[in-house]
Amino acid sequence: MLPWLSIILATLAVGTVATFAAGARARWVALATSAIFLAEVGLLLASYPGWPGYSGSLVPGFSDTETYSWISIAWMHVDYAVGVDGISLVFILLTAVLQIATVVYSWGESQRPGAYFGLVTLTCLGCFGVFVSLDILLFFLFWEAVLVPMFFLIGYWGGPNRRYAALKFFVYTHVASIVMLVGLLALVFYSGATSFDFSSVYAAARGLAPVVQTFLFLALFFGFAVKFPIVPFHTWLPDAHVEAPTGGSVLLAGLLLKLGGYGLIRWAVEVLPSGLHSVQPLLFVIAFLTIIWGSVLSLAQRDLKRLVAYSSINHMGIVLLAIALDSSLGLLAAVLLMFAHGIVSALLFMASGSVHHQYGTRDIASLGGITPSAPALSTMLMAGSLASLGLPALIGFPAEFSAFLATWNGLGYWVLIPLVVLVVTAAFYLWMMQRVLFGAKKGVPADAHDLPWYESTGMGLLVALTVLFGILPSLLVNVIVNSPIKGWPGT
């Protein structure tokens, strides 16, 4: 078999270097790289159990694994170890989709296009590396590599306070990464694992005492929670989103936030089950606080982009709640919800960016009645809003319904808290749409026009996926459950 994961990594690496060097033609090189990446991911997906048309064995586990010796000093063995399961494969698909959508949407970027599109592809390269890494140090290398391109995307192409937002983003996430690395190294040392490989650490961690697992879980949770982000570690997110260029906001919300959830599942929940059980009450409290806080703050926003940013915190709280339940349905819901949020938040940030491009403001109170002059933009913004509030037949509904059902199974009537907050979520999105899209014209110049082709194409791809996976969530579910997680078929 071909080493597919290494081939994809090489494709992204070569494409990134070529994009940086292409200058004014960088958008074409980035588009070609993104198209090849998406095609390779499609071939990888078609060969995985659970995807329609697959006729092989349905035994869950890691596939397309590759292991090559990298560093071997005394007892320390570090490998180039990569592989995918159903969870990581769904996030890889999300990475490929958002990369090509971001490149197309940003087609009109004229300020140093070589650097801009190169940083976009480099960010996606780092995210792909995180999702396929099965060695702790390789995982951390890609994890840290993602911070650099996002720092420059915010710091150079961002808004008036871009330097402050970029520095705040970097400091928060880098400090959390250091704590996470300490936790991962302590996990190896205390467990007595013979290498940094996931399978070795997973097997050795079974023998750790519950109190040790608890402290290790808390260290890892802090590192991953800041990236989520979870209250009270969320304050870097609104500033980063508001100041970032639209493409940066898309990758930040669609991919970087998912690194925290994926890392928590892969390296903490799977490896340290006793630690998870010990801190479950704390996780429930943090999750409920995050859900309520993010939703209430969203209701108070008047900037369209900031509203979407705070709604992301709300949704990540539901993800944490689903993970903390430690059930097969909860983990399925968490992964499905993260994928759904990646698509929908990207769509909403693109739409809010287009509103700013067309009308020169994102202030909700300054806009009104834009639908006659921009029907395509209004359609995209409405589709994203309805998907985010959980309208049936759109991707947000099966994800949120699964999370609420898992919460009912695990916590009973405590499910009323996220259900009531869902009403608040619907309220602030409906409030926003009523004021921006409908009513008398307000803040609409006489020469206002609809979306350029590249922005409508980038958002149209995401709308299509929102509908496709909203109607056929089984396309994702059947892939996700073919993972080596306790409680899922075949494990």
pLDDT digits (tens, 9 = 90+) for 172-181: 999 999 999 9
pLDDT at site 55: 57
Mean pLDDT on 122-151 = 95
Quickly count helices (H) and strands (E) in the chain.
20, 2
Residue 491 belongs to some domain of the structure: no
- The answer to whether 120 and 474 have CB atoms below 8 angstroms apart is no
Cα 314 → chain centroid: 14
DSSP 374: -
Token digits of residue 146: 């993602």
Tell me, yes or no, whether 182 lies in a domain. yes
Whether residue 290 is contained in a domain is answered as yes
Report the number of distinct structural domains present in the chain.
1
Per-residue pLDDT, 57: 56
Percent of the chain past pLDDT 70, that is, above it, reads 96
What's the pLDDT score for residue 54?
64
pLDDT tens digits, one per residue of 42-85: 999 988 877 776 655 555 568 888 988 888 776 677 889 999 98
Lowest-confidence region among 193-202, 216-225, 280-289, 455-464: 193-202
pLDDT of residue 199: 85
Q: Burial, 68: exposed, middle or buried (Cβ in 10 Å; 0-12, 13-18, 19+)?
A: exposed
Q: Which domain range does residue 14 map to?
A: 4-480
Token pair in block for residue 448: 């206002």
CA 354, CA 358: separation in Å to the nearest integer?
6
**Residue 395 CB-half CA count within 13 A:** 26
Residue 482 one-letter amino acid: N
- C-beta separation of 146 from 121 below 8 A: no
pLDDT given at position 60 = 56
Mean pLDDT of 111-131: 96
With beta carbons less than 8 A apart as the criterion, state whether 125 and 96 touch.
no
| Nearest Cα residue to 354 out of 371, 383, 377 | 377
**The pLDDT of residue 324:** 95
Does residue 303 surpass a pLDDT of 80? yes
- How far apart CA 212 and CA 205 sit, in angstroms, is 10
Q: pLDDT averaged over the chain?
A: 90
Q: Fill in the amino acid letter for 264.
A: L
Query: In degrees rounded to 5, what are phi and psi of residue 203?
Result: -70, -40
Nearest to 151 by CA among 130, 126, 133: 126
Highest mean pLDDT among 49-53, 195-199, 352-356, 425-429: 352-356
Beta strands in 98-229 (DSSP E): none
Q: What is the mean pLDDT of residues 125-149?
A: 94
Q: Which pLDDT score, from 0 to 100, does residue 489 have?
A: 46
Structural domain includes residue 489: no
Is residue 488 in some structural domain? no
State whether residue 81 is helix, strand or coil.
Answer: strand
Provide the pLDDT for residue 119.
Answer: 97
CA pair distance 324, 327, nearest whole angstrom: 8
Cβ atoms of residues 91 and 476 within 8 Å:
no
pLDDT of residue 300: 85
Report the distance separating Cα 349 and Cα 235, nearest Å. 18
**Widest distance between CA atoms in the chain:** 73
Q: What b-and-e string marks burial along 275-284, b requiring 16 or more CB atoms within 10 Å of the CB? A: bbebbeeebb
Whether 377 is covered by a domain: the verdict is yes
Q: Kindly state whether residue 487 falls inside one of the protein's structural domains.
A: no
- Predicted TM-score (pTM) of the model is 0.95
Better pLDDT: 351 or 193: 351
Q: Residues with Cβ < 8 Å from 223, sequence gap 6 or more?
A: 176, 177, 178, 179, 180, 181, 183, 263
* pLDDT value, residue 490: 38
Helix, strand, coil tally for the chain in percent (to 5): 70, 5, 20
Q: What is the mean pLDDT of residues 458-478?
A: 95
In a domain, 486, yes or no: no
Q: What pLDDT is stored for residue 483 in this prediction?
A: 76
- Name the pLDDT band for 222 (thresholds 50, 70, 90): very high
Q: What is the C-alpha separation between 489 and 151, in angstroms, rounded?
A: 41
Judge whether 362 and 355 are in contact, CB under 8 Å.
Answer: yes
Three-class secondary structure of residue 251 per DSSP: helix
